[in-house]
Structure formats: structure tokens, C-alpha cells
Amino acid sequence: MADLRTNLAGIASPNPFWLASAPPTNSGYQIMRAFEAGWGGAVWKTLGDPIVNVTSRFAGLNAAGYRMFGMNNIELITDRSLEDNCREIVEVKKRFPDRAIVVSLMMECKRERWRDLVARVEQTGCDGLELNFGCPHGMSERGMGSAVGQDPELIEEVTSWVVEATRIPVLVKLTPNVTSIKHMGRAARRGKAAGISLINTVNSLMGVDLETWNPIPHVDGKSSHGGFCGPAVKPIALNMVGECARDSEIGIPLSGIGGIATWSDAVEFMLMGATSVQVCTAVMHHGFRIVGDMIEGLNNYLDGRGIARAQDIIGKTVPKFVDWNDLNLDYKIVARIDQSLCIHCNKCYIACEDAAHQCIDRIPRNGTTDCVVDESHCVGCNLCQMVCPVDDCITMVRVDDGRSTRTWHDVEATQV
Ligand SMILES: Cc1cc2nc3c(=O)[nH]c(=O)nc-3n(C[C@H](O)[C@H](O)[C@H](O)COP(=O)(O)O)c2cc1C
Ligand code: SF4
Ligand code: SF4
């Protein structure tokens, strides 16, 4: 049994699985039940000035039989009082001293107001603070959330106010709705954040009702842009975690968030540099119990590879995540079709003919038509393999000799 203990910037937890700040962390009752189920930590639903929520606030994107493949929300921060939340944080910490309790905070950009909030929350005995610079809707229109996370100067300034006002670790939660995540991560570092959590939700509008012409979800016939999350955002989140992990000017621990639903998603984020992972949509979909499978899966993965500690895999993929100009132009793969598995659906042929490089031929044989790749023209784009409905029917095979390496940098050097 591997050692799953995690320590992110001094915030310790028995495993890397934390609940993200969201509806599942809205109350002490929920977080205690989550901890009973095995979650290693929780980021409390964002505390700040009292807000009023609209009633219709979520919408789901179903894809190919998968419900809630994506989720859109226009919910704001907690609508419960600071007093109630702080009292419950004390209770949860007392009952579960070994779990990480991080409290998410949001406040208008006034130093004294941040200081007051931090002082009040720190008294609860929580293990860390997470500054919500990510919420892209509602609060951002009031100058908070992603309005801060989209401005590096504000990120640095507000972070430094909080860091000065507290002794516990301060994490900065970033919005993905920016042109360059690493510049935002660097600003958090300059503000002396202990770590970065990413990502919050992606700006989105879930849809339009074709009968009523209402945007979805609508509030009395109208809607506003919301935040998109769930499995559909995982590639966006993974890229942003990797971008921050490989940036030498950031260099602080990361908590990965975005579309994580299984142990293998979590492993991918850890390999890409996340010390802990946070989960929201998958818990909203399936409940707290999913953490049991996540713990077991991570354990089995590590044991199967003889890796003693979960922390030993953190960042192992980061050196392989490079700029395009550092890729090997001499690496060559081609598609190969296993005719014994082919069901002659022609999907690969159509894809290659209409959208790739016209290098799959249809050759009549034994009363049917075989799809055969012209390897000399195949550019190894993978499209035919992606569209093929039969597992392992198309494989991508390496055909270069594996000895030569030539990057775009090398090409440029020879041009000078
Ligand atoms: C309904 C809802 C409410 C959320 N509220 C908050 C919040 O109060 N504070 C915060 O930092 N993030 C909030 N989030 C964002 C999540 O913490 C998380 O960053 C995002 O959902 C991506 O993770 P996921 O793909 O696992 O859902 C909320 C997300 C949802 C779906
Ligand atoms: S890998 Fe791309 S180019 Fe090669 S056969 Fe498949 S679709 Fe065509
Ligand atoms: S997509 Fe796959 S199954 Fe269909 S014809 Fe091509 S190789 Fe055969």
C-alpha cells in the first residue's frame, strides 16, 4: 500500500484528493460527510460579503450518452453567514484534525476589508486560505473574482495584502479566462502566494432553447454568461497546470482542478505537476463516494509500478511538456490497419479523403473493399485512428530509424 500523504505548501492531507470550493463544500455537514467518505481535504465554498443567488443556476451538457460531460453555472459565492461558516469550520477541524481545510475567500479590492476577513477566518484554525480570483460571472461584474484574476497587478497586490495579514499558507485560485495563464501565475508568486490552484470555470453559455429562444439556463427568460466545468474542460485545465508547472518563474506548488472524475485523471494532473487535485462536478454528479475508487485506483497504480509514495510522481511529465519548436521533426509514424478487425465502415477513408491527406485507398478484395494506407503519403496525423469505431483496428506505427533528432530550432540554425 503506497503512502498517499500529501503536503502542499505546508497544508497536509492523508491523500491528494480535495473537494473544490463549490456546492459540495457549502456547509460543515457536507464536508464532514465527505471526510467520512475519505476525502483528504476540502476547500470551503467561497466566503465573502453576503450575496443573493438566482434560483435557476445550473445547466448540463450531455454528450454521447454521458450526462453532465460539461456543466455550466451562474451561482455566486456562499449565501450563508460568515458566522455560521466560521463556527462550522471550527467543528469540522476539531472532528477531522488530519484533513486539510482550506477556506476560499473573495472580497472587494480594499486592503482593510481583506485584512478583516482574513483575521476572522484564520481564527477558525483552518489550514490555509484560497483566494478566489477565478469566478467568471456575477462577482466579476462587481470587480471581484476573475476581474482580479485577469489583471496581474491586482493579483500581486491583493495576494500580498493577504500574505502580510496571515501566518497560514495562501493559495491563489486562477481563472482560465486569460490569454496567458503563466503571467497570472507569476503575479501570484510575486505576491508571495504559497501555491496556485487552477482552474476555475471557463466562460460559457450552455445553449439556446429553440422554442422559446431563451438562453439556457434562464432566469425569468434571461441569462448571463456562466462558468463551464466538468470532464469537458479537463484538457484546458491540464494544459494550464502544465504551463504553470514548467514555468521557472512560478516555482510554487499547484493544486490541479478541472474535469477530474477518476483516479487516472488525478494521476495525469499529478504527473503534470499538481501536488493535490480538487474535484467539483464529478462529486455533484456522483456524490462523495467516488473518492473510494480514486484512493484505491491511485494505490493500485503506484503499487503496480513499485512507487512507494504518491508525491514521487508529481511533475514527472513536466520535462516532456515543451514548446512546439522543441519537438523532433524527424519522428515519423504512419497508420496501419488490421484487416482482420476491420468492419469496412469506411469512416477512416472518408476522414482521410475529406479532412486529411488522401492516403487511404479502397482496394476490392474477396467481395468487399479493404481500406489500405499508402504509408509513403501518410502524415501520421492520427485522424483515421480517432474515427475508427473498432478498438486497436488502426494503430500508429513508428517508421523512422529512431536515431535522428531535428527540431525547428535546428532548422532555423541551418538557415542562418
Ligand atoms: C455550481 C458551482 C459553484 C462553484 N462555486 C465556486 C466558488 O464558490 N468558489 C470557487 O473558487 N470556485 C467555485 N466553483 C468552481 C469549482 O471550484 C472548480 O474550480 C470548477 O468547477 C472546475 O472543477 P470541476 O471540473 O471538477 O467542476 C464552482 C463550480 C460550480 C459548478
Ligand atoms: S494518419 Fe492521417 S494521413 Fe495517415 S492515413 Fe490516417 S488520416 Fe490519413
Ligand atoms: S474506420 Fe476502422 S473499421 Fe472502419 S473501415 Fe476504417 S479501419 Fe475499418
With a 6 A CB cut-off, is 104 part of the ligand 1 pocket? yes
Report the DSSP beta bridge partners of residue 171.
Answer: 130, 195
Confidence at residue 415, expressed as pLDDT on a 0 to 100 scale: 85
Q: Would you state the pLDDT for residue 230?
A: 98
> So what's the pLDDT on residue 52?
86
Exposure string (b/e) for 306-340, b if CB count within 10 Å is 16 or more? eeeebbebbbebbeebeeeeeeeeeebbbbbbeee
Residues with CB under 6 A from ligand 2: 335, 351-352, 356-357, 359-360, 373, 378-384
244 in catalytic set: no
Q: What is the pLDDT of residue 416?
A: 67
Residue type, 104: S
Q: Are 263 and 310 in contact (CB under 8 A)?
A: no
Q: From the CA of 377, how far away is ligand 2's center (Å)?
A: 9
pLDDT of residue 141: 82
Residue 139: what pLDDT? 81
Q: Which listed ligand is nearest to 73 at the C-alpha?
A: 1
Per annotation, catalytic residue among 86, 109, 126, 135: 135
Segments in the chain below pLDDT 50: none
> Which listed ligand is nearest to 341 at the C-alpha?
3
Q: Write out pLDDT tens, residues 369-396.
A: 999 999 999 999 999 999 999 999 999 9
How far apart are the CA of 1 and the centre of ligand 1, in A?
32
Q: 15, 295 in Cβ contact below 8 A? A: yes
pLDDT for 195: 98
pLDDT number for residue 51: 85
Inter-residue contact 162 to 131 (CB < 8 Å): yes
